[in-house]
Amino acid sequence: MPPVVVSQTTMKQKTTHIGDKVFKTTTMMFALFVFALVFLMGYEMVRGSELSLKQFGWKFLTTSKWDPVAEEYGALPVIFGTLVSSLLALLIALPLSIGVAIFLSELAPRWLERPVSFLVELLAAIPSIVYGLWGIFVLVPWLRTSVEPFLIKNAGFLPIFKGVPYGFGMLAAGIILAIMVLPIISSISRDVLRAIPNSQREAAFALGATKWETTKIVLSDGKSGLLGATLLGLGRAVGETMAVTMVIGNRPEISYSLLDPGYSMASVIANEFAEATSSLYTSALIEIALILFVVTIILNVIARLIVWSITKKFKTT
């Protein structure tokens, strides 16, 4: 009888429909969880740092006394240390990274480009702790015995190169960070340059431009993308922990000399969190983590929006 057949098919359709719906909703829940994780992390840290937030308010960011014994916590020295070491790292890594990106996207033949890209990516795969180990036993002694005495002798009149060659200090941290952010900046810059349509290059070559003149045009097309890559590198440098902790010297003082030991936000958490005895101490350290979190989130959001929009723009046109 026809009616029975009809009801059977509708029933069957309905069950498969439900299966799909359940599956889609389930996977969506997990996707939602990943999305919510960012907010959950922020919320938990705000809750965890409540004590310190109430006690110090904005003063937390502007006072420079970090004294667990007197229960006084000011984050200025560690913020300063993070800023200086990260900016130093960018100063060293940025020109090199752009050079690498130009090589990979504009100059290298295909057979060379792949292995070189891979080597640069491998640099990113080395764990932070191994960088730190190498920093302690190779980089720091080298800085102490050769580089820093040389700098003091020849450039000691500059306030940034005054002092005693400790080896451990801002300079060591900046160099290690530069090595660590180089892969991320160069690989994203390479992707940005590659996204720029070939017609731009062809047009320049057709007008008789040299390779470098063409590259300059490509670079100016990709300007904003390169900025995005730089910001992502900065985000990485700001949050880098182990390698910096092992070479920066860990002294919560502000000094204008790059040769002096300093401290960074990530290092102070790494060193002191497990030993924080009072709840205010823990709370202050969580507040530093919260600042790091907010800063890296902002950097990442801006950078990724820039990189996304530029690669999308050139893809559609």
Partner 1 sequence: MKKINIKKYNWRQTKNAIMTTLSTASVVVAVIPLFLIFFYTLAQGISALNIDFFIHMPKPVGELGGGMANTLVGTAILIGLGCLFGLPISIFAGIYLAEYGNNTFGTIVRFFTDVLSGVPSIVVGVVAYILVVIPMKQFSALAGGVALAILMIPTATRTTEEMIKLVPQSYREAALAIGIPQWKATLKIILPTAMKGITTGVLLAIARAAGETAPLLFTALGNRFWSTDIGHPMASLTVFIYDYAKAPFEDWNRQAWGAAFVLIVLIFIVNITFRFVTRGRYDEQQN
Binding to partner 1 in span 187-226, by CB under 8 A: 210-213, 215
The binder of partner 1 chosen from 78, 266, 280, 310 (CB under 8 A)? 266
Shortest distance, position 235 Cβ to partner 1, whole Å: 5
Q: Report the alpha-carbon angle 105-240-258, nearest 5.
A: 95
- CB neighbourhood size of 220 (10 A): 11
The binder of partner 1 chosen from 151, 170, 172, 182 (CB under 8 A)? 182
The binder of partner 1 chosen from 7, 9, 27, 146 (CB under 8 A)? 27
Count Cβ neighbours within 10 Å for each residue of 128-140 and write b for 16 or more, e otherwise.
beebbebbbeebb
Piece in contact with partner 1 (CB under 8 A), picked from 102-110, 145-153, 161-169, 199-207: 102-110
Q: Does 251 sit near partner 1 (CB under 8 A)?
A: no
For partner 1, the binding residues in 108-127 under the rule CB under 8 A are: 116, 118-123, 125-127
For partner 1, give the closer residue by CB, 47 or 65.
47
Shortest distance, position 276 Cβ to partner 1, whole Å: 9
Burial category of 28 from C-beta neighbours within 10 Å (exposed 0-12, middle 13-18, buried 19 and up)? exposed
Binding mask 273-312 for partner 1 (x = CB under 8 A): xx----------xx--x--xx--xx-xxx--x---x----
Q: Does 97 sit near partner 1 (CB under 8 A)?
A: yes
Shortest distance, position 256 Cβ to partner 1, whole Å: 26
The residues, ordered by sequence, that sit 6+ positions from 55 with a Cβ below 8 Å of its Cβ are 280, 283
- Tell me the number of residues near partner 1 by CB under 8 A: 88
Q: Does 167 sit near partner 1 (CB under 8 A)?
A: no
For partner 1, give the closer residue by CB, 118 or 256.
118
Query: Among 189, 171, 179, 180, which Cα is nearest to 88's?
Result: 171
The binder of partner 1 chosen from 10, 16, 198, 277 (CB under 8 A)? 16
For partner 1, the binding residues in 137-166 under the rule CB under 8 A are: 137-138
For partner 1, give the closer residue by CB, 83 or 133.
133
Query: Among 98, 113, 311, 119, which Cα is nearest to 185's?
Result: 98
As given in the structure block, the two tokens for residue 104 are 């990979």
* CA 181/CA 25 separation, integer angstroms: 39
For partner 1, give the closer residue by CB, 111 or 157.
111
- CB neighbourhood size of 183 (10 A): 23
Q: Match 């451990």 to its residue by tokens.
A: 168
* CA 300/CA 174 separation, integer angstroms: 21
Shortest distance, position 153 Cβ to partner 1, whole Å: 24
Q: How many helices (H) and strands (E) does the chain have?
A: 15, 2
- The C-alpha R_g of the chain, in whole angstroms, comes to 26
Shortest distance, position 135 Cβ to partner 1, whole Å: 10
Query: Among 133, 43, 86, which Cα is nearest to 265's?
Result: 86
Piece in contact with partner 1 (CB under 8 A), picked from 42-50, 73-81, 158-166, 195-203: 42-50
Piece in contact with partner 1 (CB under 8 A), picked from 61-69, 90-98, 156-164, 188-196: 90-98
